[in-house]
């Protein structure tokens, strides 16, 4: 905790730590004895093997188990493969690495502390037999010449790739009536806390897989909300790092100026491990000042989420933090008045440019996709893409007048975003109230949107569940997944 906030003080370099949904789990390790309750699975080679409960297993515990010889990387891989098969109805995993056991065996031979298995979102290139298609048939079989540098770094650290996770097709930049977590290749990923519920966000498969214990951790991507929102709805930790901290190369883009890669894990400590030892060991918040920008919230003050948020603020205070209430954004109202069409200019313009740059790097490209226009035409023509039942409204935005990174519309909106996120928003509040970071109750409101536009890091931590008497609410996209229901995580 302290390690993050110490780095957060250089705000002008974008190292802002913008937190959402803090609870007591931040201040104590969530790794409990239950994680070491062994489960036995059949092993065709040696009879049987024991590994800890995968639902609770953390990266730290996996490393300790490997080091002590309680199990091997091959044991872990086999257990996770069995678990993936067991809960396949959730459609969290798109594709299993056919070489996963040989990769695990090689790591076992190198040293016992190696061999931590993870899953990777299907828009991140891995130089193996796995596809990278953004879950679209348009790029199925298309292979970049090299893998994403973040994957190479993880391999060097002893990680092996179990497989690819399902995701919202094109990272949720296909249509207006397409549900979160749906793709023509992977089907509909389902949320974990209520039957027929939405998994939320485009990194849906990565979040659901982490929640179900299908790997120690998963990698997702976020342009706006795609790591944080599915983490929130599936009770896992999602970390959107500062833009630039992790390279975006090898990831199919939406916006090169806003896209980031980040981990989804079961504990805050594991999120820190995934970011290469960024975790601190402090358990108190003495000397830390936290701001509450209430004029950015949209939730009803009497709603269950705000009741839990009030309790979380008390927890922060009791841990030694100074909480500054109403540390508001000076220009929040101005940002709220911008219409969605204007807000979409930047992302649509950048996708139109950045997708071309990515497609030019492909070593193979069976469908000859070279532009956003080609994607639109392929999606319309391919029955597997389920058009027009699931629309392509967001891709059509890229064809609108003025959607170009050289247009005056684009340049004006970029400057407005910098103002509303900077002096008129996050940085302005940080400077005025002398804050270490800000805290908001959920993905609702403008705080996360502005953090995404500015490239600032955000950590999402589970806050609570809806009560038993809450009315069920459905989302507006096909097939109308459950968004709010008793026992579901707050949204």
Residue 462 falls inside a structural domain: no
Min mean pLDDT across 70-74, 172-176, 271-275, 302-306 is at: 271-275
* Residue 409 confidence class, pLDDT cut points 50, 70, 90: very high
For residue 47, pLDDT over 50 is answered with: no
The CA–CA distances, whole Å, from 393 to 21, 172, 178, 253 equal: 32, 11, 10, 18
Report the pLDDT value the prediction gives residue 12, as an integer from 0 to 100.
Answer: 30
Q: Give the pLDDT band of residue 113 (cuts 50, 70, 90).
A: low
401 lies in a domain? no
Q: Specify the DSSP class assigned to residue 179.
A: P
Beta strand 289-292 pairing with 437-440 = parallel
Tally of structural domains, the chain: 1
270 lies in a domain?
A: yes
Residue 242 in any domain: the answer is yes
Q: Which of 8, 49, 202, 215 is catalytic?
A: 202
The whole domain housing 143 covers 40-274
Query: Residue 298: inside a domain, yes or no?
Result: no
Query: Residue 158: which CATH number?
Result: 3.90.1300.10
Which one from 136, 197, 206, 226 is the annotated catalytic residue? Answer: 226
Residue 57, in any domain of the structure? yes
Give per-residue pLDDT as tens, 277-304: 322 344 568 889 999 999 999 889 999 9
Which residue of the set 20, 21, 78, 121 is catalytic?
121
pTM of the model: 0.72
Q: With respect to residue 434, please indicate whether it lies within any of the assigned structural domains.
A: no
Q: Of 26-30, 176-180, 312-316, which gets the smallest average pLDDT?
A: 26-30
Query: What sign results for the dihedral spanned by CA atoms 189, 193, 198, 204?
Result: negative
Q: Is residue 97 part of a domain?
A: yes
Indicate if 226 belongs to the active site: yes
Kindly report each contact of residues 179-182 with a partner whose C-beta sits within 8 Å and lies 24 or more positions away, as own/partner: 179/475, 179/477, 179/478, 179/479, 179/480, 179/481, 180/204, 180/229, 180/230, 180/475, 180/477, 180/481, 181/91, 181/205, 181/208, 181/230, 182/390
Q: How confident is the model at residue 112 (pLDDT cuts 50, 70, 90)?
A: low
Q: Is 371 a catalytic residue?
A: no
Q: How confident is the model at residue 9 (pLDDT cuts 50, 70, 90)?
A: very low
| 202 annotated active-site | yes
Looking at residue 190, what is its pLDDT? Answer: 98
């Amino acid at each position: 905790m302290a390690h993050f906030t110490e780095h957060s003080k250089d705000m002008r370099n974008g190292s802002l730590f913008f937190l959402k949904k803090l609870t007591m789990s931040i201040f104590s390790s969530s790794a409990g004895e239950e994680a070491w309750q062994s489960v036995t699975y059949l092993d065709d080679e040696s009879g049987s093997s024991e590994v800890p409960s995968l639902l609770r297993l953390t990266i730290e515990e996996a490393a300790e188990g490997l080091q002590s010889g309680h199990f091997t990387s091959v044991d872990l891989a086999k257990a996770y493969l069995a678990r993936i098969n067991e809960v396949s109805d959730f459609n969290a995993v798109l594709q299993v690495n056919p070489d996963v056991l040989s990769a695990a065996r090689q790591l076992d031979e190198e040293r016992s502390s190696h061999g931590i298995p993870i899953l990777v979102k299907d828009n991140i290139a891995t130089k193996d037999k796995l596809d990278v298609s953004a879950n679209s048939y348009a790029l199925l079989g298309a292979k970049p010449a090299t893998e994403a540098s973040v994957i190479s770094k993880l391999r060097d650290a002893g990680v092996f790739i179990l497989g690819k996770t399902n995701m919202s097709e094109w990272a949720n930049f296909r249509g207006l009536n397409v549900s979160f977590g749906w793709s023509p290749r992977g089907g509909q990923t389902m949320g974990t806390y209520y039957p027929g519920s939405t998994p939320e966000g485009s990194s849906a498969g990565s979040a659901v897989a982490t929640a179900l214990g299908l790997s120690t951790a998963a990698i997702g991507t976020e342009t706006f909300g795609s790591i944080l929102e599915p983490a929130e709805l599936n009770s896992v930790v999602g970390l959107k790092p500062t833009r630039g901290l992790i390279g975006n190369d090898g990831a199919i883009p939406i916006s090169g100026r806003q896209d980031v890669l980040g981990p989804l894990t079961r504990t805050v400590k594991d999120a820190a491990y995934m970011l290469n030892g960024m975790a601190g060991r402090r358990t108190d918040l003495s000397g830390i000042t936290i701001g509450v920008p209430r004029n950015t919230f949209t939730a009803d003050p009497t709603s269950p989420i705000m009741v839990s948020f009030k309790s979380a603020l008390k927890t922060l205070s009791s841990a030694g933090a100074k909480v500054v209430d109403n540390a508001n954004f000076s220009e929040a109202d101005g940002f709220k008045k911008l219409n969605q069409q204007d807000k979409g200019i930047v992302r649509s313009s950048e996708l139109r440019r950045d997708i071309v740059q990515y497609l030019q790097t492909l070593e193979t490209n069976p469908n000859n996709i070279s532009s956003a226009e080609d994607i639109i035409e392929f999606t319309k023509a391919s029955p597997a893409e389920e058009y027009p039942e699931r629309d392509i409204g967001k891709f059509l935005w890229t064809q609108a007048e003025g959607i170009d990174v050289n247009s005056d519309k684009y340049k004006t909106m970029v400057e407005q975003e910098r103002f509303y996120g900077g002096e008129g928003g996050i940085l302005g509040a940080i400077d005025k109230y002398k804050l270490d970071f800000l805290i908001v109750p959920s993905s609702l409101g403008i705080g996360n949107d502005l953090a995404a536009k500015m490239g600032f890091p955000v950590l999402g931590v589970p806050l609570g569940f809806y009560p038993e008497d809450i009315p069920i609410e459905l989302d507006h996209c096909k097939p109308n997944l459950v968004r709010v229901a008793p026992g579901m995580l707050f949204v």
